[in-house]
Structure 1
Amino acid sequence: MGLYIISCIDRSGSLDLRMATRPKHLQFLAESSGVKVAGPFLDDDGNMVGSMLIVEVASLEDARNFAACDPYAQVGLFQSSDIRPWKQTAGTATL
């Protein structure tokens, strides 16, 4: 098992789509055992404009599959996304 960061930026002007899809997205996260940390990126006004997740899964392919199953991804919310292996080396929280 490894840790992967999923970093996504919303399409411009898509806050309404994000909010409409948010309950399904939150349910998806709650039902996914590999989610270690998740939360939105914010703009200067405090509006959600993207997502960052750290997931623990067996492989990069599994991380890609996880990201593709996210309701946000399925409705086309994201302008871009990036998935990278990650290793925690500092901090007080153990993921």
Structure 2
Amino acid sequence: MRVAVITRDKPNHLQMRVDTREAHLAYIKQTGVVEMAGPFLDADDQMCGSLIVLDVADMTTAEAWAENDPYNKSGLFESVIVSQWKKVIG
């Protein structure tokens, strides 16, 4: 199943994102369940959140993935939404 993980960073936490980015990317590679991902950008073209599409067996796995993401563990996020998602176009 596909699951979208939609996050928004806490205000003024760009440096935390930059500092944690390498661990986040290593986690993506290590887990092997990310189908596509990328940051949201603010009006100044600065990263301010993420959209990550997972290909996992169930919601429990997706929720655990999101919980263990180094970005989340560092306290970067103001909000995290984990929602089943159906690809229709693209």
TM-score (norm 1): 0.92
What is the CA RMSD across the aligned residues, in angstroms? 0.7
Matched residue count: 90
TM-score (norm 2): 0.96
TM superposition shift of 1:33: 1.2
Cα separation, 1, equivalents of 2:81 and 2:45: 22
TM superposition shift of 1:37: 0.3
Cα separation, 1, equivalents of 2:17 and 2:88: 32
**Aligned position for 1:79:** 78
Q: Which has the larger radius of gyration?
A: 1
TM superposition shift of 1:18: 0.6
Gap regions ≥5 residues in structure 2:
none
Cα separation, 1, equivalents of 2:12 and 2:87: 34
Identity %: 36
Confirm or deny that 1:49 pairs with 2:37: no
Cα separation, 2, equivalents of 1:23 and 1:33: 16
CA offset digits 1:56-94 (Å, max 9, x no partner) = 111111100000110000011000010110111112xxx
- After TM superposition, the runs of 4+ consecutive aligned structure 1 residues lying more than 6 A away are none
- Map 1:83-94 to 2 at 5 A: 83-91=82-90
Gap regions ≥5 residues in structure 1:
none
